[in-house]
Amino acid sequence: MDNAVMATDETGRPFIIVRDPGMKQRIHGTEAIKSHILAAKTVTNIIRTSLGPRGLDKILISPDGDITVTNDGATILGQMEVEHQIAKLLVQLSKSQDDEIGDGTTGVVVLAGALLEQAEDLIDKGIHPIRIADGFDRACKVAVEHLEKVSDVVPFSKEDTSNLLKTAKTCLGSKIVSKAHTQFSQIAVDAVLSVADLERKDVDFELIKVDGKVGGSLEDTTLVKGVVIDKDMSHPQMPREVKDAKIAILTCAFEPPKPKTKHKLDITNVDEYKLLQNYEREKFQEMIKQVKDTGANLVICQWGFDDEANHLLLQNELPAVRWVGGPEIELIAIATNGRIVPRFQDLSAEKLGSAGTVRELSFGTTRDRMLVIEDCANTRAVTIFVRGSNKMIIDEAKRALHDAICVVRNLIKDNRVVYGGGAAEIACSLAVADAADKIPGIEQYAMRAFANALDATPLALAENSGLAPIETLTSVKSRQVKEGNFRLGVDCMQKGSNDMRENFVIDPLIGKRQQFLLATQLCRMVLKVNDVIITGTEEAQY
């Protein structure tokens, strides 16, 4: 039995020690590192099948039954219930790649898993983990320097966006929207250029809103030069469209002021009730007059208002929208160049937002309506309005658009690119292997292991595309050496050419560089951990 050990006492008599099966054994040293690597490999094996344009999707079911279908690495890892500490580190790794770059979340985890797998082989050979980590750091430096050597500069401008479109297409090629990736690429590029400051090389993401509505197909997705909010006019008889809108943006409610006191008001007869009713009506009318005096012809309110206030707004021909959330209120204020007003007394004509048209958008045979604010004073604010057959497709399309927008943003920040399809990884693998031959000492083993780990990406791409992985990799690698062409990669879409420039498969340099750096940092962290101590439990008492 696994939980029993034979031992002998001082006189040599045998006896059996039975461990409580409920207690975990404390592991440390190289055994601890190996257990960590095993956890990382398990997570990597789950996610590597999602890499590339032919990568497969995963269905994630939450505890309350919500279903997510995606092949986005950060989303898969973010929704997986992982208990192991190192698996949690991989989740954070993909999140940091997503936060910083926005794309490449699957690739960075695949690379980190491959590095740890190679490290395990070196540990078995008796090489100290710190020497392995130092060798990986050295190899990563060589790889990043070589990335910059093999990168190309792609020119672009607001007039010529062809290179931005090609990069966005590469990003969207592995997503669910790939059948409409030309249209989605154009939408992503137009959205980013609408809000980009090309001189400062900066993109304000707050001005881009991505919203969606079930119904229609992916091809019905549009870019709205303005704001779309999931609300309608507060009264069904209010006009469905307001031209030359002057918008009062309020965070105060249409209701009489409540006295801040603990005393209660008792109404004992009809006259007192009528007095209270008249007081409320006068207050409502005073509020509406304060709004109309500024010249506003539309009210957008963060809070609700009762039927009486709604009726008075209709009578006074003042269209209104209620229950608009805080982030949407802020976006409307930015888009219309309006000010958010917390009190009716503070309203003035200068604080109103302006828009060319505010109209309701209705869908099919349903009563669903959304409000579209177009031709805003701030022309930089845009909304991508996604359509799809169900909520899962819309959510995945939103994630795909987020990645594409981030990729275009990265190109605006730094317009150097490397070639996809594993071409950059193969080129760096060859460079690191060459550098390892010139280094004396034990670190050369770690550098060669790093070079082997870089091959994991093209191997996974070939495997996911239905190609023979090892044959494809060796063929492309030998051609890169013979022809000196660092643009050769895995032909995932089987277009007949391995030249990624011809296939328009390109990635921003800063995204690929970040992948290498983050994966190496995580690997170093894991290799330096040789013990796990859980405080306050029996395992920690030794």
Instruction: Tell me the two tokens of residue 48.
Output: 């590597």
How far is the C-alpha of 23 from the C-alpha of 315, rounded, in Å? 74
* Residue 345 neighbours by CB under 8 Å, 6+ apart: 290
User: From start to end of 64-190, where are the E strands?
Assistant: 67-70, 152-153
How far is the C-alpha of 198 from the C-alpha of 413, rounded, in Å? 9
φ and ψ at residue 288, rounded to 5 degrees: -65, -40
Query: Closest Cα to residue 36, out of 539, 538, 522, 492?
Result: 522
Contact 398, 212 (CB under 8 A): yes
How far is the C-alpha of 408 from the C-alpha of 438, rounded, in Å? 39
Q: How far is CA 336 from CA 329, 378, 383, 501, in A?
A: 11, 6, 13, 42
Contact 82, 91 (CB under 8 A): yes
Contact 56, 464 (CB under 8 A): yes
Buried b / exposed e across 26-38, counting CB within 10 Å, b at 16+?
bbeeeeebbebbe
- Which residue, chain included where needed, has tokens 């949407």? 328
How far is the C-alpha of 174 from the C-alpha of 403, rounded, in Å? 11
Enumerate the active-site residues: 72, 105-106, 403
Q: How far is CA 366 from CA 213, 362, 375, 472, in A?
A: 12, 8, 27, 52
How far is the C-alpha of 492 from the C-alpha of 489, rounded, in Å? 9
How far is the C-alpha of 514 from the C-alpha of 99, rounded, in Å? 11
End-to-end C-alpha distance for the chain, whole angstroms:
24
Q: Other CB atoms closer than 10 Å to residue 117's CB: what's the count? A: 18
